[in-house]
Amino acid sequence: MKYLIVGLGNIGAEYAHTRHNIGFDVVDALAEKVGGAFSPDRLADVAKGKYKGRTLIIIKPTTYINLSGKAVKYWMDKEKIPLDKVLVVVDDLALPIDTLRLRAKGSDAGHNGLKNIQQLIGSNKYPRLRFGIGNDYSKGKQIDFVLQRWNSDELPAIQKKIETSVEIIQSFVFAGVQNTMSKYNSMKF
């Protein structure tokens, strides 16, 4: 059984470890845990790993976040991975910073990366792990906020959320989306 795990983010050192790139940080931790190493490939940096007999194709699209659908569609097709075996890790302004939320499907919630994925794969019925980044910004400062790095007082909770995100992905792969949602969606950090 193969799974496609997608971390959303923007390429380039200036975006590393920002709120908007939390998807990259999560899949970096996942790859390390399952023994994969990223290398450049078509439309993405790709790592492969194993977890309890399942193969994980882990990607960080190199298309910039707003065009992530190109990489998702390409790797789904190349690896013949069905929609229900795809998991996208994404930052979410609408969720408080202490929250992680797994969903089996859903809207793009105004996130351009999710919007592009939905357009290119023709469905919103794919699992996604929403990583709450909070919304503590002044009117008109949303872009500045999402491109900020974490404050030092936020880092311990963020690190714990990254570790828990890896557990959630492993549970999704082994126990399925419903069981994983029941176990993790009520946690606070």
Catalytic residue flag (residue 111)? no
Q: CB–CB of 168/102 below 8 Å?
A: yes
Please identify which of the residues 19, 20, 48, 60 carries the catalytic annotation: 20
Which residue ranges form the domains of the chain, and what is each CATH number?
Answer: 2-184 (3.40.50.1470)
Question: What are 70-101's pLDDT values in tens digits?
Answer: 999 999 999 999 999 999 999 999 999 999 99
CA distances from 178 to 47, 84, 126, 135 (A): 26, 12, 13, 28
How far from each other are the two terminal CA atoms of the chain, in whole angstroms?
32
Query: Quick check: pTM over 0.85?
Result: yes
Query: Strand, coil or helix: what is 24?
Result: helix
pLDDT cut 90: percent of the chain above it = 94
The predicted pLDDT at position 136 comes to: 87
Distance CA(189)–CA(148), nearest Å, equals: 20
Question: What are 53-70's pLDDT values in tens digits?
Answer: 999 999 999 998 999 999
